[in-house]
Amino acid sequence: MSAFAFIDEAHSTLAQNSTRAVYAAALVLTLAMLSFCVDLAQAPGRQARAGRRGAADEAAVEADAMSAEATSAGAAASSKASVGGATAVLERTRERRDLDGDGTPDVPADGHKRQWAGTGMALTWLGAAFLIAGIVMRSLAVHRPPLGNMYEFDLAGTAFLLVCFLLWSLRKDVRWLGAFVTLPATLFLILAAKVYYTEASKLMPSLQSYWLSIHVTVATLSVGLFTIGFVITALYLAQKTREERGKSGGFLRSLPDSETLDRLAYGVHIIAFPLWMFTVLCGAIWAQEAWGHYWNWDPKEVWSLVIFIVYAAYLHSRVTVGWSGRKAAAVVLVGFACILINYGVVNVFFVGQHSYSGL
């Protein structure tokens, strides 16, 4: 076997292993999603137990207080100790009755850890590791950044979605978000493997530039963040509806309240929007170097601008007009719909200078 044949075989093996790693990531993330779903299904039971334990603790505190008041003046020291003990009981009760999943202790009121949520987080880390390994092997197989077609863009965007969620989880307990992040991540990987898959190959000439790594990497990062923002916004709408109707809401009661969800969604979009703006600006500079003009109203350029305008309107309206709640959420839904159109429709059905889907 010649050296070149050996190298080609090695690259082919890397590409095959990359595909296997992507399938493994999809499988592991599916298991993670199911684990998170079981945890959410157990939320009403956890809260019911917390309520019963809290009521029992408060009754015990009241009984202790009444007993303390009934003691004689000579037992004042003992009475003070009883009250101090009651205060400690109240403090422990507050800790146990905190909402699970909003930066609260790992042990809920019933004294049992949220094992399914912990399993879901561990599987999410494992799934992200498989996916990143698949992306790295794909890059080694083709000797270029793995960002040259829709399949690779899908993998990168999903990886950033997972990484952003996992890094966030290191600072705050966001296990309540796990099922709603792993679900789109799994769907994106299935879509990549079954619809967008492209054999590992070299880049077309127009993409052979250092701008590819900058422009597309930032684009995929911003899309990952926009996806998290969309998910939180959808949860906000569901939570807001539950609160207005006064329903128990099942697992929704274990999520942060609608006001908190609205603030979280806004914070995520504040980070994502400048990244998308940078993506558009980098694209214009790259277009000038590659094609001799900054802007040519190519379908991809037009829809990238539409996305920019929609999210700019969302942030601007919140700051100046004071939009929040359902109005602002509606703009977010429109913006994310534009992202899906830009990726899934424009790349496939529109012909232009950005026709590099690989399909």
- pLDDT tens by residue, 159-176: 999 999 999 999 999 999
Q: What does the pLDDT read at residue 143?
A: 87
CB 305 within 8 A of CB 348: no
Q: How far apart are CA 193 and CA 198, in angstroms?
A: 9
Q: For residue range 24-73, what is the model confidence (pLDDT) as tens digits?
A: 999 999 999 999 999 999 876 665 555 545 444 555 555 555 555 555 54
Proportion of the chain above pLDDT 90, given as a percent: 52
Read off the pLDDT band of 268 (50, 70, 90): very high
Q: Report how far residue 185's alpha carbon sits from residue 337's, in angstroms, rounded to the nearest whole number.
A: 17
| Residue percentage of the chain with pLDDT more than 70 | 74
**244-278 burial, b if ≥16 CB within 10 A, otherwise e?**
eeeeebebbbbbbbbeebbebbbebbeebbebbeb
Write down the pLDDT at residue 240.
Answer: 93
Residue 117's pLDDT band (cuts 50, 70, 90): very high
- Provide the mean pLDDT of the chain: 81
Q: At what angle do helices 299-316 and 258-291 cross, to 10 degrees?
A: 150
What residues contact residue 325 under an 8 Å CB cut-off, 6+ apart? 240, 262
Of 266, 271, 262, give the one whose Cα is nearest residue 235: 262
Place of tokens 């899934």: 344
